[in-house]
Amino acid sequence: MITASDQRQRGAAVAVVIAALVVAGSVAAGLVLRANDVRLYLGGPLLAGSWNPRLEPGIVAPLAVGGVLVIFAARVADGLPWRRLLPVAGVAAAAWAVALAVVDGASGLTRGLESTHDYLDDVARAGSVAQLLSDYVAKVPVDSAAAWSTHVGGHPPGTLMTFVILDSLGLGGSGWAAALCIAVGASAVPAVLVTARSVAGEDAARAAAPFLVLVPAAVWLATSADALFLGVSAWGVAALAVAVRADNQQLAVIGGLLLGLTLFFSYGLVLLGPLAVAVVVVRRRWRLLAVATGGVLVVVAAFALAGFWWLSGLLATMERVNSGVAAQSRPAAFFVISNLAAVAIAIGPAGVAGLGQVVTRAGRRTAVAVLPLAALAGILIADLSLLSKGEVERIYLPFFGWLLLATALLGRRQRTRWLIAQAGTAVAVQVLVRTSW
């Protein structure tokens, strides 16, 4: 007789097998395209980075940290008092991300931020915050005088403005920037846990906690400014979720302000909207959604008064991206599928297995499924829009934590196996691919 547990395990296995086939097929297709002189502008056939197997002394760090997390993460998540679990989870996430990055030595933490295509390259010529905002849109077109670097021109001014402020405080350079990105990015883990507890209960949050920490996406958390987007957006959703649970207008305003600020880190994060709606739908407190929307509009208005109109920036960026050689030559059909393959790698086998549970009829009926389904909707919209062709293992980073909440539906008896699979995937990516970040 097949039990419900057996059915869940079978469904998880099927999801992982399908994801593995999509990944393998995408790699094969990418290799074929490259062999036929089709430029993917990735460095490799799927992920942004070159195939570069290496065994450096730094491999000891992720093996040691990953081993400790596999052994102790689940029991700590189950037994630690809630208020202590939150900071411990954040520190553990930072430790895991740093351990992966230092496989390539200390430079692994700052290499991406020091690129001439990244934000720090423009800090010296940004001027004051007021000048930065007023001149921002004019410098987005690639043929404009003193055009912004690739990443700056492809995003709103929030990230560059953050690094400019950091520099003005005497904390300039890639070291301080990396420290900020790691701290803010890792703080997303307790934010997601707080949200999960408000929406689906503490048991679900505790069950997902080890997977939020020990995730392959940590490869990009410690090395890219997208970790800033991840942290700020996660706390915005968390504040709104707690506001809905407690019927607290002040927290709803804070959530709206943070989500509004998120829009000025990345234009694509408007697709976190389904998450904001999801946390409200659970308790149907639509009034608080309206309050949070007011907070978002306050931030948009503040930036507009300072000289930057979000819509103008978006249109200028879309024109720059769409006129670029990479956007025109990257094959759309390939990236619609390969983007999802990159997501599968980033969330790992356990994340894929959890999503396999969520999309089944039984899984969709649970409160745990609300947030992963909302995040999945945002990713699918982004993917089908074709505005992101490749590099989504970094670009979609703010969505991954919400997808990983689906791991709460995995059987507890198999939790250690799934954690080993997560750690193994992360280490494999780190040592086989020299990522661009």
Q: pLDDT per residue over 234-270, tens digit each?
A: 999 999 999 999 999 999 999 999 999 999 999 999 9
Structural tokens at position 166: 């950091």
pLDDT at residue 116, rounded to an integer: 82
> At residue 3, does pLDDT exceed 60?
no
Most confident of 283-297, 339-353, 400-414: 339-353
Structural tokens at position 387: 């505005």
Could you tell me which residues come within 8 angstroms of residue 216 by beta carbon, excluding any fewer than 6 positions away?
345, 346, 347, 348, 422, 425, 426, 429
Could you tell me which residues come within 8 angstroms of residue 81 by beta carbon, excluding any fewer than 6 positions away?
none
pLDDT classification of 293: cutoffs 50, 70, 90: very high
**What is the distance between the alpha carbons of residues 183 and 406, in angstroms, rounded to a whole number?**
24
Percent residues over pLDDT 90 in the chain: 77
pLDDT classification of 436: cutoffs 50, 70, 90: confident
Range from 101-105, 313-317, 337-341, 366-370 carrying the lowest mean pLDDT: 366-370
pLDDT at residue 388, rounded to an integer: 85
Closest CA to 307 of 73, 83, 109, 135: 135
The predicted model gives 214-240 an average pLDDT of 95
Instruction: List beta partners, residue 51.
Output: 433
> At residue 6, does pLDDT exceed 60?
no
pLDDT in tens, 374-416: 999 999 999 998 888 889 999 999 999 999 999 999 988 889 9
Closest CA to 397 of 154, 110, 180, 184: 184
> At residue 1, does pLDDT exceed 50?
no
Query: Are the C-beta atoms of residues 193 and 85 closer than 8 Å to each other?
Result: yes
Query: Are the C-beta atoms of residues 129 and 165 closer than 8 Å to each other?
Result: yes
pLDDT classification of 86: cutoffs 50, 70, 90: very high
**What is the distance between the alpha carbons of residues 135 and 126, in angstroms, rounded to a whole number?**
9
> At residue 118, does pLDDT exceed 90?
no
Structural tokens at position 396: 């979609």
pLDDT at residue 359, rounded to an integer: 79
Query: Are the C-beta atoms of residues 223 and 208 closer than 8 Å to each other?
Result: no
